[in-house]
């Protein structure tokens, strides 16, 4: 029997964000100065009190298996944080802690979707959604949005995508990759369709603590009475607390779905890292000033990126209400030659920008939107200044 890869995994696209980050790292390792705006991860080290809590947990002997869905203190802290910040009542049993929010998403699709179910995903979408859905045998239904709507799904577009097989709607606000944030009214319009058409909604709220200016975040499940019964909310510590490497994310869901995901996880990975769970507990229960400080820095970077993109010839991006991405429209710069290299699409544009100017971004095509490039500004202002100057040089480079 030849050693072959399963059909399911053959059909899987590897994560483009992680692939571009790996390319940037390779170039760096070869001695080049690289301006890396590819991966979406805070450049800050995890705040000290969180690191200290992890050390203390190890020294106290919290080095064993924990309950599969997480230590009771962390599950209670997650429930408390949603109660205090959003007025939502969840019991700790409705919280399932996993190995990062990406794992939480995998658990959701696996626990809820049957083969043939349709999962509606507005594009541009984060690279992993469609692939994780496909792994379950369900079908991602990609629904295009418009830049003029700040890439937000409208009630009309949602209704037009519905079929008798529609099962689930996936929403990410603030959005990766566009940074756009739905207003409570815009979300409520979608919630009404979900109720009317009996859809489950996955609300990915991983960027909810990173909101800029006068923008206001609304947690999806709060928008109509009873909505929490059809909503699975995803969140975690990766972005708000600069804890990407600790791998802790979670879901809040109706109890029977939480039980199903717990049982899946018990066979799949067991508990997430015990030490990381104690660190996440310290993040939620400890002082929150670190979140505000990081947000203030992200906010300065966002202002800078917005201004510079506005200054560059024929580039634009939508309003960034949250997260740390600019989704830049590069359409006017395709179909030409850059120092002899012909560039017709966003993948070629990003690869040529990396090759010629050592600036790493991610092609819009990976997010289901050709003609764009995603730039993560979770990196220092100095890097952004130098990197955007190089993007300018690239745009002005001779044919
Ligand atoms: N959802 C979105 C929208 C993301 O951008 C990320 C970032 N990787 C995740 C989920 C997963 O986060 P993590 O697995 O690092 O907790
Ligand atoms: N969410 C981040 C990004 O979009 C991290 C990388 C990943 O997991 O895809 O860049």
* Residue spans per domain, the chain: 7-45+290-395, 48-285
Tens of pLDDT along 57-78? 999 999 999 999 999 999 999 9
C-beta neighbour count of 351 within 10 angstroms? 17
- The answer to whether 166 and 201 have CB atoms below 8 angstroms apart is no
- The answer to whether 262 and 68 have CB atoms below 8 angstroms apart is yes
* 339: its two tokens: 């120092």
| Mean pLDDT of all residues belonging to the chain | 97
Query: Which fold would CATH assign to domain 7-45+290-395?
Result: 3.90.1150
DSSP, res 322: B
* 108: its two tokens: 């959701």
Ramachandran class of 165: left when φ > 0, alpha when ψ lies in -120 to 50, beta otherwise: alpha
- The answer to whether 157 and 143 have CB atoms below 8 angstroms apart is yes
**Secondary element (H or E) of residue 144:** strand 139-144
The Cα angle at residue 75 between residues 110 and 179, in degrees rounded to 5: 65
Identical fold, 7-45+290-395 and 48-285: no
- Give the ligand 1 atom nearest the CA of 99: 14
3-state secondary structure of 330: coil
- Give the ligand 2 atom nearest the CA of 244: 5
Angle between helices 101-112 and 255-268 (to 10 degrees): 110
Say yes or no: CB of residue 41 within 6 Å of ligand 2: yes
Q: What is the pLDDT of residue 13?
A: 87
Tens of pLDDT along 171-219? 999 999 999 999 999 999 999 999 999 999 999 999 999 999 999 999 9
Please state which CATH number belongs to domain 48-285.
3.40.640.10
Say yes or no: CB of residue 20 within 6 Å of ligand 2: no
Residues 6+ apart with CB under 8 A from 29: none
- Give the ligand 2 atom nearest the CA of 376: 10
Say yes or no: CB of residue 204 within 6 Å of ligand 2: no
Q: Which of 137, 131, 204, 129 is nearest to 165 (CA)?
A: 137
Q: Is pLDDT above 90 for 14?
A: no
Say yes or no: CB of residue 280 within 6 Å of ligand 1: no
47 vs 8 pLDDT, higher one = 47
Omega within 30 of 0 (cis) for the link into 177:
yes
Q: What is the pLDDT of residue 220?
A: 98
Q: Out of 102, 232, 237, 244, give the residue to mutate to test ligand 1, the one with the largest number of ligand atoms within 8 Å of its CB.
A: 102
Distance 8 CA to ligand 1 centre (A): 22
Q: Which residue has a Cα nearest atom 2 of ligand 2?
A: 40
1 forms beta bridges with none
Distance 102 CA to ligand 1 centre (A): 5
Say yes or no: CB of residue 250 within 6 Å of ligand 1: no
Tens of pLDDT along 117-168? 999 999 999 999 999 999 999 999 999 999 999 999 999 999 999 999 999 9
CA distances from 216 to 111, 183, 234, 334 (A): 32, 7, 18, 35
Give the ligand at the shortest distance from the Cα of 13: 2
Q: Which residue has a Cα nearest atom 5 of ligand 2?
A: 40
Q: What is the pLDDT of residue 6?
A: 93
Q: Is pLDDT above 80 for 87?
A: yes
Q: What is the pLDDT of residue 2?
A: 87
């Amino acid at each position: 029997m030849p050693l072959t890869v399963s059909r399911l995994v053959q059909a899987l696209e590897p994560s483009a964000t992680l692939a571009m980050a790996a390319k940037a790292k390779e170039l760096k390792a070869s001695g080049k100065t690289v301006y890396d705006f590819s991966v979406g991860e805070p450049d800050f080290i995890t705040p000290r009190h969180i690191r200290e809590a992890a050390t203390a947990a190890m020294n106290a002997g919290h080095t064993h298996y924990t309950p599969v869905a997480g230590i009771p203190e962390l599950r209670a802290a997650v429930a408390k944080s949603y109660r205090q910040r959003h007025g939502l009542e969840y019991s700790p049993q409705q919280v399932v802690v996993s190995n990062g929010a990406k794992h939480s998403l995998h658990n959701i699709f696996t626990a809820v979707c049957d083969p043939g179910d349709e999962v509606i995903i507005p594009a541009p979408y984060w690279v992993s959604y469609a692939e994780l859905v496909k792994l379950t045998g369900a079908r991602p239904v990609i629904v295009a949005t418009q830049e003029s709507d700040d890439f937000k799904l409208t009630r009309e577009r949602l209704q037009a995508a519905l079929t008798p097989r529609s099962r689930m709607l996936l929403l990410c606000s603030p959005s990766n990759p566009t940074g756009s944030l739905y207003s409570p009214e815009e979300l409520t319009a979608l919630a009404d369709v979900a109720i009317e058409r009996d859809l489950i909604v996955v609300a990915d709220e991983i960027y909810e603590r990173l909101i800029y200016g006068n923008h206001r975040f609304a947690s999806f499940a709060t928008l109509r009475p009873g909505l929490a019964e059809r909503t699975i909310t995803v969140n975690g510590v990766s972005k708000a607390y600069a804890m990407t490497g600790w791998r802790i994310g979670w879901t809040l869901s109706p109890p029977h779905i939480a039980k199903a995901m717990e049982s899946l996880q018990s066979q799949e990975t067991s508990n997430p890292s015990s030490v990381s769970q104690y660190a996440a507990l310290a993040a939620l229960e400890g002082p929150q000033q670190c979140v505000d400080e990081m947000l203030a820095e992200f906010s300065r970077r966002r202002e800078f990126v917005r201004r510079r993109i506005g200054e560059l010839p024929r580039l634009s991006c939508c309003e960034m209400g949250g997260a740390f991405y600019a989704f830049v429209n590069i359409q006017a710069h395709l179909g030409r030659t850059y120092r002899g290299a012909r560039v017709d699409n966003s993948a070629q544009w990003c690869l040529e920008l990396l090759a010629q100017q050592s600036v790493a971004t991610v092609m819009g095509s990976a997010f289901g939107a050709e003609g764009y490039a995603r730039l993560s500004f979770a990196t220092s202002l100095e890097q952004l200044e130098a990197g955007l100057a190089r993007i300018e040089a690239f745009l002005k480079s001779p044919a």
